[in-house]
Structures are given as structure tokens and as C-alpha cells.
Amino acid sequence: MLASFVMAIALLAVSVPPGPAQAAISLTFRNDCNVAVVVQTGTIQRGKVLNDQPLVLRVGTSGRVPFHGDKLLLIYEGKSNRILHQSALRFQGSAASFSIQSDPQKSGKVKLVPLRGVGPAGP
């Protein structure tokens, strides 16, 4: 009796179509500087930083990371691990795209330039 009840619920769950899927919100980074970089993001949850998968970007390539809360952002050079940029990005409920470019005002550093006028507020 219990087994048939569980089976009926399982069949019902499989046959019910899923609700409208939410579009995944993400941060997109494009490497427009002349060296390969690694983008490391992390989210603070319950007082701890949970690091996302590092994103290795060769020159001219782009990649995405999920954006579901405020992010800590660290960009470092692929070969030497030298830190090129660090900041925090506030979650504002929409996707954002950035170009990673050499910063002419700060030697050896990069800057984030929002693409298409979309981007979260930074510090």
C-alpha cells in the first residue's frame, strides 16, 4: 500500500511540467588585455567566503560566472599569480558584462569596463 502511494507520487512529480524557468543571471568577463588572466569570484554566505570555480581567460576570450549574490572579485595574472585587480560587486538582480583592460593610470593593474552600459555598482 505504501509502496503504491510512493510510486503514484513519483509518477505525478515526473508528469507535471516544470514551472517557467528563470533565466540564469551571470557575470560575463572578456579579457581585452595582453596577458592571460584568472578571474576568481567568491560569495559571502553565513560569514564565510565560498569561492567559485576560477575562470581562466586567454587574450581575447570571455567567460561567465553565476551571479546570485554580492561577489568578491580577484583578477590575477595567469603565469605569475600577480594580483591585477580586486573589488566587490553588488548584486542588483540583473546580468552584467565587463571588459578587462589594462589600466593606463596604474602600471601593472587592470580595470573593469562595463559593456553595454550594464553593470552592478562597485565600491
Distances (CA, A) of 60 to 5, 26, 92: 56, 19, 27
- The residue among 121, 31, 13 whose CA lies nearest residue 71 is 121
Q: How many domains would you assign to the chain?
A: 1
Q: What angle do CA 114, 80, 119 make, to 5 degrees?
A: 10
From first to last of its 123 residues, the chain has per-residue pLDDT tens of 444 444 444 444 444 444 344 457 899 999 999 999 999 999 888 888 899 999 999 999 999 998 888 899 999 998 899 999 999 998 888 889 999 999 999 989 999 999 975 444 444
17 within domain boundaries: no
1 within domain boundaries: no
Residue-number span of the structural domain to which 51 is assigned = 22-114
- The whole-model pTM stands at 0.73
**Is the Cα torsion angle 56, 30, 28, 81 positive or negative in sign?**
positive
121 within domain boundaries: no
> What CATH number does the domain containing 101 carry?
2.60.40.1120
How far apart, in whole angstroms, are the C-alpha atoms of residue 103 and residue 15? 54
